[in-house]
Amino acid sequence: MQQNLKEERRTPCAQKYWHERRYVKAVLSLIKDWLLYPFKHDLLYFMLLWVIISLPNCYSQRNHIVYVLYLAMMYYLITYVIVLALNVYTKVAKVLKPAMLLLAALVAMLNIYCYNFYGCLLSNDFVQIIAGTNMDEAKEYFETFVSWEWGVLFTMGIAISVSVAMMLSRLQKVHLGKLWVGAIVMLLLSIVAIGYNSGILQEEFVNKHRWTFNFEEVVDLRNHSVNPQIERTAAGQIEQIVIILGESFSPGHSSLYGYEKETNPLLSKEAEKGNLLVFNEVKSPCTSTTAAFKYLLNTFQVAKEDGEPWYKHANIIEVMKKAGYYVEWISNQSEIGMFDNLPSGHARICDDKFFLGNEEGADRYDGGLIGRSNAAEERKNLVIYHLMGQHVTFQERYPKEYEHFKKDDYKANPEHQREILAAYDNATLYNDFVVSSLIDLYKEKDAIVFYFSDHGLDVFDTDPHYFGHAKATEASQKQGKKIPFMIYVSPLFKELHAEIVDRMRIASDKPFCTDKFIYAVMDVAGYRFADNDDVEKYSLFRNGQ
C-alpha cells in the first residue's frame, strides 16, 4: 500500500523512468537466463567437458603461461556453445552428452600421444596418413611405436570416460547456486581474448594444424587427364628409363654418403667404376609418403603452388606415354589402404601395373620385385619400381641372411638405440642388394636408372629417444627431408649420351628438391613442354632454378 502511494506521488516523468527500468531489467534477466542456462543447470558436465577439450593444447603449451590461459578461455567458450546446444535439445541430450564427453576424451588422448611422440597435436596431416594406411602398416606401427604403457593409458582413459559418461547419463542436473557467476566471468574473458587476438586462432587451427578436412589426395587420376603438350629437344632416343622410388632412407646411414658402416657395398662398386653418380644436396618436399607423392611425379611444386590441386598438373606418366614410352608400375607397397594409397593412383594410369602384395602368400621383401618387369626390348620403356625400403618396422624389411649388423656393433650408442640402429642398417644393406640387382637388369642396355627415397627418417638424429617419421620440430623436419639421390648410367648410355652424363656430373653438388624431378627426367629424355620453358628452368641438369 505504501509502495503504491509512493509511485502515485511520482511525477509522470519519474513514473516513465521506473517503467523503462523494469523493462530493461526484464530483458537483461531473460538474456542472462539464456546465457547462463548451461552453467546454472549443468555446471559439472560443463567443467568436465571444458577440462577434457582444453587439456591437450594447454599441456602442449605448458611452458607459455599466457598462451595456456588464452587457450583455456577459448576452449571454455567452445564448451559453452556445446553444452548450450545439447541442453536446448533435451530429448537427445541424454545420449549425446555422454557420447560427446567420450569423443572429447578419445581425441584428447590422441592429441597427448601425438604431442609426446611427434611434438605436435593431431592435425590434418595425421588424418591423411591414416587414410593412406592399410591394416599391415597399422599393425607394424602399433607393434613398433605403441608401448604397453600407452596401451594401459588408453585403456584407462577409455574406461574412465565410459564410466563418467554412463554416470552423467543417469545423474540429475547439479544446481550449484551462485557459482555460475565465476563461469560467466570466464566466458566474457574468453570472448574478449579471442576478439583481441584472433590471429592466434588462425595460427592454431588453420596454419599450424591445417584442419582443412580436404581429402583431395583420394582421387582417381584416370579421371583427371591433363593431356600435356610436349615437343622434342634432342634427336637421340633413350631406350630404357627406370625410376626406383625408395622408402624412408636417410643418407646419414649410407656409406655412399660417408656413414662409417658399410651399408652400400654393391652400389659403392658402381660408383667407383663411374657408372653411379651420387648427388649430395637433394631433399624431399615432405616427410611422409602420402604428402610427398603429391609432388614427386608431377609439376606441382612447393614453392609455386598456384591454387590448382596437385592432380590437375602434368605428371611424368602422361608425359612419357605421350612421348611413346610404355610405362610400368612395379610395387612392393600396398595397392589399397583405408582410402587407397596415393601412389596406387599413379599406378592405375600406367600401361601395366604389378603389386607384390596382391599375390597370395608372396614374400614381401623388396627382392620379390626383381624380374617382374614385362617391358619388351623392342620398345621404349619407363619402368617405375616402388620399394618398401627401410619403412618401419625395420627388422621386417630384410631376410634373415641380411642380419649382418648386431646390437654389439653400436656400443658407442645408448643401450635402447642399439638394436634399432642395427635393424635399420641391415634394412639399408638389403636395400643396397635390391637396388643393385634392379640396376643389373639394365646394364647391357641403353638405360638410365634414377634412385631416390620419397623421404628420410629421424633415427635418433634430433632426439636420443625418438626414431621414425620426422616430428614437428624444425630440426626433425629438416632431417626427415634429407634423402639419397643417385643415377646409374649404363656403359652404352655413357657412350651414346656423353653430353648428358657430363651435365649430370657437374650437378652432383647442386641443391635440388624432388618436387622438380619431372623436369630432370624430361630433360634427359629430350622433351620439353610446348607452352613453357619449365624444363630449362627447373631441371637438375640445367643452370636454372
Could you report the per-residue pLDDT of 465-516, keeping only the tens digit for each? Answer: 888 888 878 898 999 999 999 999 999 999 999 999 999 999 999 999 999 9
| Dist. CA 207–CA 486, nearest whole Å | 35
Task: State whether residue 311 is helix, strand or coil.
Answer: helix
Query: Per the structure block, which three cell numbers stand in for 60?
Result: 602442449
pLDDT of 22 reads 73
| Dist. CA 78–CA 50, nearest whole Å | 8
Answering whether pTM is above 0.95, one says: no
Whether residue 393 has a cis bond before it, omega within 30° of 0: yes
List CB contacts of 81: < 8 A, sequence separation 6 or more. Answer: none
Task: State whether residue 72 is helix, strand or coil.
Answer: helix
Name the pLDDT band for 99 (thresholds 50, 70, 90).
confident
Lowest mean pLDDT among 27-31, 48-52, 107-111: 27-31
pLDDT of 127 reads 58
Through-space distance between the first and last CA atoms of the chain, rounded to whole angstroms: 93
Phi, psi of 394 (to 5 degrees): -60, -45
% of residues, the chain, pLDDT over 70? 67
pLDDT of 155 reads 75
> Of 41 and 258, which is predicted with more confidence?
258
Q: Which helix or strand (DSSP H or E) is residue 331 part of? A: strand 326-331
pLDDT of 335 reads 76
Name the pLDDT band for 49 (thresholds 50, 70, 90).
confident
Residue holding cell 567458450?
Answer: 77
Alpha helix ranges (H) inside 119-239: 124-131, 135-145, 148-170, 180-196, 198-202
CA quadruple 114, 118, 119, 123: dihedral sign: negative
Amino acid at 232: R
Residue-wise pLDDT for 131-151, tens only, equals 555 556 556 555 555 566 667
Quick check: 214 pLDDT over 60?
A: no
> Of 164 and 424, which is predicted with more confidence?
424
Query: Per the structure block, which three cell numbers stand in for 292?
Result: 610427398
What's the chain's average pLDDT?
A: 80
Name the pLDDT band for 106 (thresholds 50, 70, 90).
confident
Largest CA distance in the chain: 117
Q: How far is CA 60 from the centre of its chain?
A: 20
% of residues, the chain, pLDDT over 90? 45
pLDDT of 405 reads 97
Q: Domains of the chain, with CATH numbers? A: 12-208 (no CATH), 221-538 (3.40.720.10)
> Of 6 and 129, which is predicted with more confidence?
129
- Listing DSSP states for 390-415 in one string gives TPSSGGGSS-GGG----GGGGTTS-H
Name the pLDDT band for 531 (thresholds 50, 70, 90).
very high
Name the pLDDT band for 302 (thresholds 50, 70, 90).
confident
Amino acid at 460: F
- Listing DSSP states for 249-285 in one string gives --GGG-GGGT-SS---HHHHHHHHHT-EEEESSEE-S
Q: Do 529 and 230 meet the contact criterion of CB atoms below 8 Å apart?
A: yes
* Torsion region of 353: left, alpha or beta (phi above 0 gives left; psi -120 to 50 gives alpha): beta
| Dist. CA 285–CA 29, nearest whole Å | 58
Query: Per the structure block, which three cell numbers stand in for 261?
Result: 658402416
Residue-wise pLDDT for 363-420, tens only, equals 789 999 999 998 777 789 999 999 999 988 899 999 999 999 999 999 999 998 999 9
Q: Do 338 and 136 meet the contact criterion of CB atoms below 8 Å apart?
A: no
Spell out the long-range contacts of 525-528 with Cβ–Cβ below 8 A and sequence spacing 24 or more.
525/238, 525/241, 525/320, 525/323, 525/325, 526/232, 526/233, 526/234, 526/235, 526/236, 526/237, 526/238, 527/230, 527/231, 527/232, 527/233, 527/319, 527/323, 528/230, 528/231, 528/233
Name the pLDDT band for 303 (thresholds 50, 70, 90).
confident
Query: Which has the closest alpha carbon to 215: 285, 124, 334?
Result: 124
Lowest mean pLDDT among 272-281, 295-304, 492-501: 295-304
pLDDT of 527 reads 96
Q: What integer is the mean pLDDT of 295-312?
A: 85
Query: Per the structure block, which three cell numbers stand in for 107?
Result: 581425441
| Dist. CA 49–CA 76, nearest whole Å | 9
How far is the CA of 261 from the CAs of 409, 456, 462, in angstroms? 10, 18, 20
Q: What integer is the mean pLDDT of 170-196?
A: 59
Residue 18 burial (CB count, 10 A): 11
Q: What integer is the mean pLDDT of 92-118?
A: 74
